[in-house]
Amino acid sequence: MVTLSSASLILLFLLHKYRVVVIRRTLFITACLYTLRTVMMLVTQLPSGYTNNSAKCRPELPLKERTLNVYIQRTLEQTVHVGFQDNTKRMLCGDLLFSGHTLVMIVATLTVDRYIPSAFRILRLLPRIFACVGVPCMVISRTHYTCDVVIAYLSAVAIFSMYHAFCEIESQSDRSRSILNSLPLMRIVGWLEENTINFKSKNEFEFPFMDALGRNLRIERRTMPGERADKCVTSNSPSLTVAIEPV
């Protein structure tokens, strides 16, 4: 379900007319959430919820074996697999509070719900279904505790809502008087959205590179008649020269 939610979000990025703005906002919100998740994991450690943790999880390394190479290897391993792990092998456990999978599904649901054009509003149901199925499955499979997914849901909704609530304030004077402006995070949002208009009513789809292709075709059509005229003059000029030379 995480993969399907991510696919729906990527498809929105590709088709949205103002994809650069949507991608920038989504990446910033996701970065904030994962930064908060990192802080939570550093200050809170929960035991894994599997029935037999010793069979599911890799053993904890002694302090002497925790070298820089081990950290780099595990970081690259998680990066290549995009956070997914093979259930048939022993996994890295302990990254529980809070759920990163829930963050992806909720952010995808909120983003698609906000930025999809009204003509395609029926498609909003897809990421909602993915999230409604995927989140309970993580609790049932003991991958996460219930508190993990609840905190992830509340955090994603809170940061997503605050970001877009601040963006909907159009004038700089109103933004400076807003209670949201007292948050340090909103100072960065104000800088990111300084030259961006409100896109709430401008959700449109377009195929990538179609505008550039259309402009090139129009330019070619405009230049073709001129090229034909030049060719006609060039082809006729020798005969004119021959006719004039005897005179």
The answer to the question of residue 202 being in a domain is yes
Cα distance between residue 114 and residue 126, in whole Å:
14
The answer to the question of residue 85 being in a domain is no
Q: What is the secondary structure of 43-77 as a DSSP string?
A: H------SS-HHHHBPPPPPGGG--HHHHHHHHHH
Residue type, 140: I
Express each pLDDT in 215-239 by its tens digit: 666 666 666 555 544 544 444 444 4
Q: Please name which of 43, 8, 29 lies closest in space to residue 161, comparing C-alpha atoms.
A: 29
Cα distance between residue 61 and residue 7, in whole Å:
36
Helix, strand, coil content of the chain in percent (nearest 5)? 70, 0, 30
| All residues at 6 or more sequence positions from 31 whose CB lies less than 8 Å from its CB, including other chains | none
pLDDT surpasses 60 at 27: yes
Can you give the residue range of the structural domain that contains 154?
A: 1-44+93-208
Cα distance between residue 159 and residue 21, in whole Å:
17
Query: Comparing 39-43, 164-168, 169-173, which segment has the lowest mean pLDDT?
Result: 169-173
The answer to the question of residue 80 being in a domain is no
Inter-residue contact 196 to 21 (CB < 8 Å): yes
The reported pLDDT for the residue numbered 159 is 94
Q: Please name which of 109, 102, 83, 127 lies closest in space to residue 26, comparing C-alpha atoms.
A: 109
Q: Is the pTM of this model over 0.85?
A: no
Catalytic residue positions, numbered? 101, 144, 148
Inter-residue contact 112 to 123 (CB < 8 Å): yes
The structural domain count of the chain equals 1
Express each pLDDT in 71-95 by its tens digit: 888 778 777 666 666 666 777 676 7
pLDDT range class, residue 199, cuts 50, 70, 90: low
pLDDT range class, residue 129, cuts 50, 70, 90: very high
The answer to the question of residue 78 being in a domain is no
The answer to the question of residue 137 being in a domain is yes
The answer to the question of residue 123 being in a domain is yes
The answer to the question of residue 107 being in a domain is yes
The answer to the question of residue 228 being in a domain is no
